[in-house]
Amino acid sequence: MNVEITRLASGLTVVTETMPHLESVALGVWIKSGSRNETEDEHGIAHLLEHMAFKGTARRSARDIAEEIENVGGELNAATSTETTSYYARVLRDNVPLAVDILADILTESEFDEEELRREKHVILQEIGAANDTPDDVVFDKFSEVAYRGQTLGRPILGTPDTVKGFTPGQIRNYLSRNYTTDRMFVVAAGAVDHTTFVKQVEERFARLPMTPSTPPVLEVARYIGGDVRETRDLMDAQVLLGFEGKAYHMRDFYCSQILANILGGGMSSRLFQEVRERRGLCYSVYAFHWGFSDTGIFGIHAATGGNELPTLVPVIIDELRKSSETIHQQEIDRARAQIRAQLLMGQESPAARAGQIARQMMLYGRPIPNPEMMERLEGITTERLTDLAGRLFFDTVPTLSAVGPIEQLAPLTDISTALATPGIQTKKAAG
């Protein structure tokens, strides 16, 4: 792993991985701050800031930003999540100085012009409307809302129409000064990049970043609650998400949870896909996932199916969860490990994927994790650990159920909870 790390005197961390066979470079700035760092009256401001960073600086208009990067065939984009925000570019090796200059410009000299803000609010309102018209987005937002009720982790990243409409340039600057500081930022590049040269470019252009926040960043401790949320809609299919509290990144069972999710619903050979979709034909999509956060996690099973299939589908899913707490085969673990290893290695063939992977590891663990070390962590996972984890995840915790669409035949959460807690018990709707 040809990774080099330099921590500047300002506190900013610069990381590169040279991939000499390439002609391009993927580079970006990752900030250890996202929607969870918003205060009560800032819901949606992290995402709005990400949009506004591209809407003009003291040196460039919004059009200038777009044209300058595209004049050299490059790409520029950004993304906001619950705990991180990223601004990234991909260019040919000769255009790295330009990309660094543009990224530094939008992160240190954005003007947040009132007229641009008005227009961008309108764009985000359309984005919120589009998300609300997408049932498979709605079911996940509602899941988080009930699983972490009354908390920043349970709020949609986009915000609400009311909160977005009310934001001012001053509020954006306040969030920026509190969260975009060198102790929380990582500049990462992968591809045809020279570390020493890149560090000098970053040091020169990012000198204006504040070292410490004006006030300490906000991050309330997550409290998983669980519960039931449903929205009946006149749709062709029902979106159902059954989930439980998962494991945080630093917890012992984090990697074990990743393997378990893969075995249950990580591909066409997984248990849920084979039993629910292939053998029974109960849905057109079913998968399991495990998301880790800094202090909690979500383990979920998502299915998209017709409303008439729900009485049969849910008991079959519960039965597969129960079976996973009783028996896991070594062959399944080996297959899941092979899939994860392949994903790691394939990701290293893409400079954009590799830059993102390095940035996430720096934010989570403070260092890049070599592949052999990652695989060593996975090697220690046994069938006994997996069945024990499944028992604790699925049957010793409060479930969360989110459903959208023609869900009149979906059993009550009390019945589903009883079926999870009692072997052999079916939900009333299913038995009927």
Which are the catalytic amino acids?
A: 50
- Distance separating alpha carbons of residues 363 and 346, to the nearest angstrom: 22
Is the alpha carbon torsion for 107, 56, 26, 99 positive or negative? negative
Helix axes 254-265, 310-326, angle to 10 degrees: 130
- Distance separating alpha carbons of residues 87 and 81, to the nearest angstrom: 12
- Distance separating alpha carbons of residues 363 and 398, to the nearest angstrom: 30
Please provide the DSSP assignment of 20-36 as one string: TT-SEEEEEEEES--GG
Helix axes 169-179, 45-52, angle to 10 degrees: 100
SS3 64: helix
- Distance separating alpha carbons of residues 23 and 1, to the nearest angstrom: 19
- Which residue intervals of 157-309 are DSSP H helices? 161-166, 169-179, 195-205, 254-265, 271-272
